[in-house]
Amino acid sequence: MVSFVNTKVMGAAFEVTDRYSDLQPRGMGSSGLICSARDCFSNSQVAIKKIPAPFDTPALAKRTYREVHLLNHLRHDNVSSSPLDNHFPLRPETYYDQLINMTDIFISPSEDIYIVTECIMTDLHHLLKSTSKQLEGQFTQFFTYQMLRGLKYIHSAGIIHRDLKPGNILINDNCDLKICDFGLAREQDAQMTGYVATRYYRAPEIMLTWQKYTYGVDMWSVGCILAEMIIGRPLFPGKDHVHQFTLITEILGKPSEEVLKRVFSSSTLKFVESLPNTEPRGLASILGDVDPQALDLLEKMLKIDPFERITTDDALKHPYVSTYQDSSDEPVCRKQLDWSLLDSELSATEWKTAMYDPFSQYLFN
């Protein structure tokens, strides 16, 4: 029988199994508070994310189920043994380098969900804030390569992350990089609704209220992150979505007629048409004395039309990251994710039943 221990972290109640001790606050994810803790089984540091009251509404329950499903699927496709008490069964220890790895997950007696992952002590956001100047070129190249390598795997599973930003890029002392927080991830070409991506890293098609997005959403975000590593500040620091889009068009120009054909909101079209027809300044005007190869890659990533953006496969072959490129060590997911249940409209009770079912063919296949 699993024993649970109650503790307070920043005023919030944490109800974790006695396997974990010494909880310390680390920050907020897209859906809950994150703490570091000591795993008494392995004597290692882990991160624990609390998702409070995940079954209160169908939307919360669906989002939680989706995140757990994605984390489990992206561990690769070996099925493990049966569950233990309140714990979900996890796949065997087959990890992928650029993705944060889930090591445990459980539901507390008060029905909060706790996701346990490896603990990485900093992220790119904090690294950039603590650096008095821009990152050195070799670090920028290495981090960019690792982001692209991770995205190749994610996209090969049929998944769009949708919330790539420096705070979701974890970095350890060896400069190894991990992509985390899949709370907003979706399949490509699904109907898209609601808020996605922190504003500075949000692709233009999101602001243009397109009904369907592509993997290009993530590539835009990587381009914004790469530019921020080069200049030491956000590339498009919009105060709101109108200001954000205006900043983008000042640098890259107004959307083409082909892009505007995919906009179905009359108010959005009216706003775009109201923008001045001025000559775009170009990325070089912002980046200054930048590596020409970095500028070339950025110009391929930061296309307003997502169908013109460079793909992860092609970006990994770009000369800017050629020092690290190794096609034999850039794996893809063994099978695409089955979204049939994840996109269902179920009641909170039905999502809860699926979450408690340790042998769910959807969650653990």
Active-site positions?
163
Q: How far apart are CA 137 and CA 358, in angstroms?
A: 47
Helix, strand, coil percentages, rounded to 5, for the chain:
35, 20, 45
Judge whether 47 and 178 are in contact, CB under 8 Å: no
Give the orientation angle of helix 216-231 with respect to helix 292-301, to 10 degrees: 150
Using a 10 angstrom Cβ sphere, with 0-12 exposed, 13-18 middle and 19 or more buried, the burial of residue 7 is middle
Q: Which helix (H) or strand (E) is 231 found in, with range?
A: helix 216-231
The residue whose two tokens read 């981090």 is 143
- Per-residue DSSP letters for 244-291? HHHHHHHHH-PPPHHHHTT---HHHHHHHHHS--PPP--THHHH-S--
Number of residues that this document lists for the chain: 365
Dist CA 127 CA 139 (whole Å): 11
Q: 72, 53 in Cβ contact below 8 A?
A: no
Please provide the DSSP assignment of 68-97 as one string.
Answer: HHHHHHTT-S-------TTBPP---S---T
Specify whether the CB–CB gap between 281 and 250 falls below 8 A. Answer: yes
Reading across the β-sheet that carries 177-179, which strands appear in turn?
122-123, 169-171, 177-179
Asked if 45 and 38 count as a contact pair (C-beta separation under 8 A), the reply is yes
Q: Which residues on neighbouring strands pair with residue 26, listed in sequence order?
A: none
